[in-house]
Structure 1
Amino acid sequence: MRFAVIVFPGSNCDADMYYAVQDQLQAEVTYVPHTATQLNDIDAVLIPGGFSYGDYLRTGAIARFAPIMPAIIDFANNGGLVLGVCNGFQILTEAGLLPGALHENKDLAFICKDVQLTVANPNTPFSNRFEKDEVITLPVAHGEGNYYCDAETLAQLEANHQIVFRYQDNPNGSVADIAGICNERGNVLGMMPHPERAVEAILGNTDGQRLLSSLLK
C-alpha cells in the first residue's frame, strides 16, 4: 500500500505523519507538494496538521485552492482513502469533501494536551482495529477545532453513522462532542486529534498506530 503525505506551505506535522507510516507501519510513503497536480500510484492520501498558508483568511481556506486539491477531490470522489488530521480536517471541510466547518475553540485559546475519545463507528477503513464505544487517547493541538454544523447536517451525520470519534470531555465546544467524521461513503475521514503523535510506546500511547494501521487492514 502506498501513502502520500501532502505538504503545504506551513504544514508542520508532515514529517510526523511520514515517520509514522514508514517506520511504524513499514509501508511505502512519499511526500507530495502542494504544487503537484497529480497523484500517481497512490492508495491513500494523508493531509497533515499545521498552519497551511499561515491560516490566513480561515484555516484551510487558501489550501483549498492549491494545485494539488483537484487531484485529491477526484481521488476521493473515486473512492480513494483520504485522512485529514487537524489542519487537514479543516482543509477537507473547506474543499467540500466533508460537511460542516471548524471554528475557534470555545475559550479562544490554543489547546495542546491528550484527550480521551469514544470510538462511535468502528466500521470504517480508518477505525476497523477498534471496538465500538472503546475509549482511546490521542493528543490534540489546535486553536480552531470547534466543529460546527447545522441541525439538519448533524441529523444526517447521526443517521448515516458518519461520526467516527467523539470527545469524552469536549475541549473545544464541538457540536455533539464530535472529534472526527467521515463522508457518507466512508472513504474520507477528518479528525482534530493527531494519531501520528501516538504511535510509539516511548510516547506512552500507541492508539494512533492502530488507527493508521486500520488502513492497511
Structure 2
Amino acid sequence: MNFAVLVFPGSNCDLDCYKAVEETIGQKVEYVWHTETDLSKYDAILVPGGFSYGDYLRCGAIARFAPVMTALVQAAEQGKFILGICNGFQILLEAGLLPGAMLRNKTLKFRCHSTLLRVENNQNPFTVDYKEGEVIDIPIAHGEGNYYCDDAMLAELKANNQIVFRYAVDNPNGSVDDIAGISNKAGNVVGMMPHPERAVNELLGSADGKRMFTSILQTWREKHDAAVSR
C-alpha cells in the first residue's frame, strides 16, 4: 500500500503522519509537496495538521488552491482513501471535499490536551478496527476546531452515518452536536480535528490512534485482494 503525506508551507504534523505509517503499519510512505499535480501512484493520502500558508484569510483557505488539490479532488472521486487531520480537515472543508465549516473555538483559546472521543461509525475504512460506541483517547491541538453546519446538513450527516467521531465527555471547542470527525457520503474521505498520528504508542500517552492506520490497511487489503481474485 502506498501512502502520500501532503506538505504545504506551514505544515508541521507531516513528520508525525509519516512516522505513524512507517512505524505502525510498515507501509510505503512519501512526502508530497503542494506543487505536485499527480497523485495516481498512491492508495491513501494524508493531509496533515499545521498552519498551511500561515492560516492567512482562514485556516486552509489558501491551501485549498494549491496545485496538489486538483489531484486530491480527483483521488477522492476515484475512491482513494483520504484523511485530513486538524488543519488537513480545515483544508478538506475549504475544498468542498467535506461539508460544513470551521469556526474559532468557543473559548477563543488554543486547546492542546488529551480528549476522549466516541466512535460513532465503525463501518468507515478508517475505523473498522474499533467497536461502535468505543471511547478512545486522542489528543487535540487547535484554535479553530469549532465545526459548524446548519440543521439541514446536520440531519443529512446523521441520516448518511457520516459522523465518524464525537467528543465523548467534554466538547473542547463548541462543535455542533459534539462532532469531532466526519466523512463524505462515500466514506473514503474523513476529516477530524483530533490527532490520531500523535496517539500510536503508549509512550505518547495513548496508542488508540494506531487502529486508524491498521483499519485503512485492512480495508485496502480486502479491496485489493477482491480485485485480484476477479
Report if TM-score (shorter chain) is over 0.5.
Answer: yes
Q: In the alignment, which residue of structure 2 is the partner of 1:106?
A: 106
TM-score between both structures, scaled by the size of structure 1: 0.99
Matches for 1:106-145 after TM superposition, within 5 Å: 106-145=106-145
Distance in 2 (alpha carbons) for counterparts of 1:181 and 1:49 = 16
Root-mean-square deviation (CA), in Å? Answer: 0.6
TM-score between both structures, scaled by the size of structure 2: 0.93
Distance in 2 (alpha carbons) for counterparts of 1:29 and 1:119 = 26
Distance in 1 (alpha carbons) for counterparts of 2:94 and 2:204 = 32
Q: In the alignment, which residue of structure 1 is the partner of 2:217?
A: 216
Quick one: which amino acid aligns to residue 215 of structure 1? I
CA deviations over 1:131-189 (Å, ceiling 9, x no partner): 01000000000000000000000000000000000001100000000000000000000
| CA drift at 1:201 | 1.8
Residue 220 (structure 2) pairs with residue 198 (structure 1): no
Unaligned residue ranges in structure 2 (runs of 5+): 219-230
Q: Secondary structure at the match of 2:209?
A: helix
Distance in 2 (alpha carbons) for counterparts of 1:26 and 1:213 = 10
Distance in 2 (alpha carbons) for counterparts of 1:107 and 1:202 = 30
Distance in 2 (alpha carbons) for counterparts of 1:197 and 1:44 = 18
Percent identity between the two aligned chains: 62
| CA drift at 1:3 | 0.3
Distance in 2 (alpha carbons) for counterparts of 1:164 and 1:23 = 25
Matches for 1:1-217 after TM superposition, within 5 Å: 1-168=1-168, 169-217=170-218
| CA drift at 1:77 | 1.0
Aligned length: 217
Quick one: which amino acid aligns to residue 48 of structure 2? P
Q: 2:35·2:66 contact (CA, 8 Å) conserved in 1? A: yes
Distance in 2 (alpha carbons) for counterparts of 1:200 and 1:35 = 32
Structure 1 residue ranges (4+ consecutive) displaced by more than 3 angstroms after TM superposition: none
Unaligned residue ranges in structure 1 (runs of 5+): none
| CA drift at 1:28 | 0.5
